[in-house]
C-alpha cells in the first residue's frame, strides 16, 4: 500500500506504506508527529514529519515511520488511534484476528518506550473497542465505544454494543452501559469543545450526545446514512477549535452546540465518506477512491473539484519494495495486560518479518501444488 502527500500547489508525493494504514492520527498540540495503525498485524507506527520519509523495515530504528509495537492477535484491524495530551500515552484499538471474537487495547508509553496490551476480557468480553476520546474533565479516564462484530470469520457472541469508561492509571473499567437499542457499532466519538459533551455516531444512523458527567445520553436522532470506512472520520473539527461538523453521505452539517440541530452547509453529488478541514479553510473528503476538496468558508456552496483544481504535473513514482526477509527466530506473541515490547529488540522484530515471509511462501507453494494437480488431471483426461 502507498501513503501520499499533497503540497499547497496540489503536487503529490507517494511513499511506500508499511502494510495498510487503517488509521492516521494527528493532533493540534503535537504537529510534529503522526501516528498510524496498520492492518493486518495491528502495528502502531510513529512518523516524524520533521525528518525525511525512510521506508519502514522491521528492526531498523532509523525507519520513518518507525514501527513501535504490534497488538496481534488482539488487534489486527485498527479502528482508532488516540494521542494523549500528556505527551506520553498513545492508544490504539480495533478488531481481533481472523476467527476470533473480542478486540484488545494497545497502550503505548512514549516515555517508557513500551506497550501494554489489554485483551477483551479485561475490557468488555466479546466486544472490540472501536472509538475513543478522553473524558473532558478527567484526563486519566478514557471514554470508548465498542462493536460486537468479531474478527473476519469469527462468531458474534455479544448482542449490543456499549459505551465504557476506563481508568488509564489502573487500567480498570469504571463504568459501562448499552444506552441505545440496536447498535452494533459506536463508529466514532468526539468531544464538543464548547460544552464538554461527547458526540457519537452509530451503525444504525443514530447521532447522539452523551453527557460524561451524568453518564447519560441526553439527545439522539436518526440522521442520513453515514458512509463509513475503516478508521472513520465522520466528525470534522473546525480549526478555530470551537465548531464540530458531521460528514454524512448527503453532505456536511454543522452541529449546533446547545440544541444539537444539524445545519447543512454543503451538499455534494458525490457520496461523502469522512473529511478534514485545513487551516486554509479547504474541506477535503473521500468518495470511493477519489479525494475531493472545496473552499468551505468562502460564503458560497460550489461543487467540489479534485484536489484544489490543480493536478500533479505527472504521476507520482511508485516506490520500490526492497524488504529482504532475514533469518528466523521465534515469533513474539503479546501477553495479556503486562506485555511489554521494545522495538529496539531487533531479534523480536526479525522474527515477525520471518513469520510474514513464511506465510507468503506457504501460500505460494499451495498455488504450485494446485497447478500440478490440474496438469496431472488434464493429462489423465487426454
Average pLDDT along the chain:
79
Question: What are 38's strand-pairing partners?
Answer: 21, 43
Cell of 250: 448527503
Tell me the pLDDT tens digit for each residue of 167-197. 999 999 999 999 999 999 999 999 999 999 9
pLDDT for res 29: 61
- pLDDT surpasses 50 at 278: yes
E-state strands within 212-310: 216-222, 235-237, 244-248, 251-255, 262-267, 275-277, 282-287, 290-295, 305-306
Q: What is the pLDDT of residues 200-251, one digit of tens each?
A: 999 999 999 999 999 999 999 999 888 777 767 899 888 888 889 999 888 8
Least confident of 5-9, 183-187, 281-285, 298-302: 298-302
- Note the pLDDT tens digit of each residue in 88-126: 999 999 999 999 999 999 999 999 999 999 999 999 999
**Concatenated DSSP letters of 332-343:** P-PPTTT----T
SS in 3 state form for 80-128? EEEECCCCCEEEEEEECCCCCCCCCEEEEECCCCEEEEECHHHCCCCCE
Residue 295, pLDDT score: 77
4-46 tens-digit pLDDT: 777 777 777 888 887 778 777 766 666 789 999 999 889 999 9
Q: Which of 153-162, 298-307, 338-347 has the highest mean pLDDT?
A: 153-162
Q: pLDDT-based confidence at 332, cuts 50/70/90?
A: very low
Domains recognised in the chain with CATH numbers = 2-381 (2.130.10.10)
pLDDT digits 0-9 by tens, 48-98: 989 999 999 988 999 999 999 999 999 999 999 999 999 999 999 999 999
| CA 44 remoteness from chain centre | 10
Q: What is the pTM of this model?
A: 0.78
Q: Which residue has the higher pLDDT, 168 or 359?
A: 168
Q: What is the pLDDT of residue 215?
A: 97
Amino acid at each position: 500500500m502507498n501513503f501520499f502527500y499533497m503540497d499547497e500547489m496540489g503536487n503529490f508525493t507517494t511513499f511506500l506504506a508499511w502494510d495498510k494504514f487503517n488509521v492516521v492520527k494527528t493532533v493540534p498540540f503535537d504537529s510534529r508527529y503522526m501516528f498510524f495503525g496498520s492492518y493486518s498485524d495491528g502495528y502502531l507506527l510513529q512518523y516524524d514529519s520533521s525528518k525525511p520519509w525512510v521506508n519502514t523495515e522491521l528492526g531498523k530504528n532509523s525507519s520513518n515511520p518507525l514501527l513501535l509495537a504490534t497488538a496481534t492477535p488482539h488487534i489486527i484491524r485498527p479502528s482508532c488511534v488516540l494521542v494523549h495530551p500528556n505527551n506520553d500515552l498513545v492508544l490504539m484499538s480495533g478488531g481481533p484476528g481472523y476467527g476470533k471474537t473480542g478486540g484488545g487495547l494497545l497502550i503505548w508509553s512514549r516515555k517508557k518506550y513500551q506497550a501494554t496490551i489489554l485483551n477483551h476480557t479485561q475490557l468488555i468480553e466479546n466486544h472490540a473497542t472501536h472509538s475513543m476520546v478522553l473524558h473532558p474533565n478527567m484526563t486519566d479516564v478514557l471514554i470508548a465505544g465498542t462493536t460486537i462484530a468479531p474478527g473476519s470469520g469469527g462468531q458474534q457472541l455479544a448482542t449490543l454494543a456499549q459505551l465504557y469508561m476506563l481508568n488509564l492509571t489502573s487500567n480498570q473499567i469504571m463504568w459501562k452501559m448499552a444506552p441505545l437499542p440496536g447498535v452494533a457499532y459506536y463508529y466514532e466519538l468526539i468531544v464538543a469543545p464548547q460544552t464538554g459533551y461527547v458526540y457519537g455516531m452509530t451503525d444504525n444512523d443514530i447521532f447522539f450526545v452523551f453527557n460524561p458527567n451524568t453518564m447519560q445520553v441526553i439527545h439522539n436522532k436518526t440522521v442520513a446514512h453515514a458512509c463509513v470506512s475503516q478508521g472513520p472520520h465522520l466528525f470534522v473539527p473546525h480549526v478555530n477549535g470551537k465548531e464540530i461538523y458531521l460528514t454524512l453521505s448527503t453532505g456536511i452539517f454543522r452541529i449546533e452546540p446547545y440544541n444539537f440541530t444539524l445545519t447543512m452547509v454543503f451538499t455534494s453529488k458525490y457520496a461523502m465518506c469522512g473529511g478534514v478541514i485545513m487551516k486554509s479553510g479547504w474541506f477535503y473528503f473521500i468518495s470511493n477512491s477519489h479525494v475531493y476538496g472545496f473552499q468551505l468558508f468562502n460564503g458560497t456552496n460550489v461543487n467540489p473539484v479534485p484536489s484544489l483544481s490543480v493536478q500533479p504535473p505527472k504521476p507520482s513514482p511508485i516506490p520500490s519494495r526492497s524488504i529482504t526477509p532475514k533469518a528466523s527466530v521465534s515469533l513474539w506473541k503479546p501477553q495479556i495486560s503486562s506485555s511489554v515490547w521494545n522495538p529496539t529488540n531487533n531479534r523480536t522484530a526479525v522474527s515477525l518479518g520471518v513469520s510474514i515471509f513464511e506465510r507468503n511462501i506457504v501460500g505460494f507453494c499451495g498455488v504450485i501444488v494446485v497447478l500440478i494437480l490440474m496438469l496431472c488431471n488434464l493429462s489423465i483426461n487426454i
